[in-house]
Amino acid sequence: MPALILHVTGARPNFPKAAPVIAALRDHSVEQLLVHTGQHYDERMSEVFFRQLEIPEPDVNLGVGSGSHGAQTAAIMAGLEPLFAERRPDVVVVYGDVNSTVAAALVAAKMGIPVAHVEAGLRSFDMTMPEEINRLVTDRLSDVLLTTSVDAVAHLAREGVAPGSIHFVGNPMIDTLLRHRDKFDAAAARRDLGLEGDYLVATLHRPGNVDRPEDVAELVEAVHRVADQAQLVIPLHPRGRARLESAGFLDHPAIRVVEPLGYVEFLGLVRGSLAVITDSGGVQEETTVLGVPCLTLRPNTERPVTITDGTNRLVGRDTLPDAVAQVLATGPLQDWPVPPLWDGASGPRIARILAAASGVDR
């Protein structure tokens, strides 16, 4: 009977990371089971990714939906526990830093099932971020830690993780980006959204920007000052949307809010932009490879490699308008460094390690 590798996904950032791993494991003598927790349940936030990234339909969809951190994590754990007990996977693979990730790691670890964490070792050192807590807990419980950057390896080593458990494999999300790059059509994005002229793109949803009224007020002022310089297209995340709208976020003629986009459509929009303003983790990585200047609206990042080997820089709400002015004055980049092993071959590297961890290909 072949070994069983069970993948747990649940939110939009997971899917581009999982796609190349699932595809590469087809070359190994393992059975795969794909679980979608339903943490993101909107069509544009999850299902469209399965179609565009050619991921097989999930074998199991828990359909947990939204909720507080505690309620959502508990619902995912309650759904996964009987499934793990019934199927007894040889390895549970988790991705990134969302609630589905830490929930699956907790259930698997308590049941004595090995856990492999794709994107291990990233650290913002900001314990006010729920994602940082998820990263720390998941890595502590994981048996196989698959890292995207050299700094992540160093973080894990300092935390006492056994060297033999750490594997520097590169970034599987970049595998997905490079595979689909030819589909990122900036002209189609302009046409579909009715855009004329140059534009910036923004994605904003982190608690540090959209939860407290005083932060929202500062954000609205900063974004309006940006929109004074160039039109701004914002696929607005459901999280915090009502607060932003009530604070007058949309009250600027150069701001264009659109619904969340599919993977291909969003990166087509990004590819044609002058720059991206974001508080998302994955966008920092995607812009790094596409050569699009990225202004990360946060005091820290768990992806510092996108600053040292990429197009990213950290900005505050107070410095954002001036940073945009600098980008607009500089113009498009002609050359930029890309991090090591972000080469489109991370999926096969991960697959070999997972196959060995499951008991085959040793």
* Catalytic pick among 7, 36, 167, 205: 205
Burial class of residue 355, CB neighbours in 10 A (0-12, 13-18, 19+): buried
Under a CB-based contact definition with an 8 Å cutoff, are residues 99 and 72 in contact?
yes
Residues whose CB is less than 8 angstroms from the CB of residue 90 and which lie 6 or more positions away in sequence, other chains included: 3, 4, 5, 113, 114, 357, 358, 359
Which DSSP letter does residue 182 get? G
Task: Please choose, from the candidates 251, 249, 253, 264, the residue with its C-alpha nearest in 3D space to the C-alpha of residue 202.
Answer: 249
Question: CB of 192 within 8 A of CB of 265?
Answer: yes
Q: Yes or no: say if 64 and 72 are a contact pair by the CB < 8 Å rule.
A: yes
Residue 297 near residue 209 (C-beta atoms within 8 A): yes
Q: What DSSP string describes 136-178?
A: HHHHHH-SEEEESSHHHHHHHHHTT--GGGEEE---HHHHHHH
Residue 31 DSSP class: E
SS3 321: helix
Q: Is 205 a catalytic residue?
A: yes
DSSP 247-310: TTTT-STTEEEE----HHHHHHHHHTSS-EEE--HHHHHHHHHHT--EEEESS--S-THHHHTS
What are the backbone dihedrals phi and psi of residue 166, each rounded to the nearest 5 degrees, phi first? -100, 130
183 secondary structure, DSSP code? G
Which residues are marked as active site? 205
